[in-house]
Amino acid sequence: MSGLEYDHDKIDEVVLALLWLTQAGNRQAWKSHDRDALERLHAKGCISDTRSKAKSVAFSEEGSAWRGNSSNVTLDGRTSTLTA
């Protein structure tokens, strides 16, 4: 490891954005993203428990409300607007 420190909140925001963009329309998305990030999102109340046997996670009310509060994701000074 090179000793890089990551901003886990930014990583979680990006993973939540990816989950939102790839959802099946029923507030569920495949849980094929970083396991630690998914567990942090569950701990924050954004998605359902990731330890179930299901291959997808469901957005909570808080996770769904996130979309209404943040349509821009900023990384390294670049901002991307989410459209889904």
- How do the pLDDT tens digits run along the chain, 84 residues long? 567 888 999 899 899 989 988 888 788 999 889 999 999 999 999 999 988 888 999 998 888 776 555 455 554 555 555 544
pTM score above 0.85: no
Neighbours of 21 (CB within 10 A): 12
Q: What amino acid is encoded at 16 in this protein?
A: L
Neighbours of 1 (CB within 10 A): 3
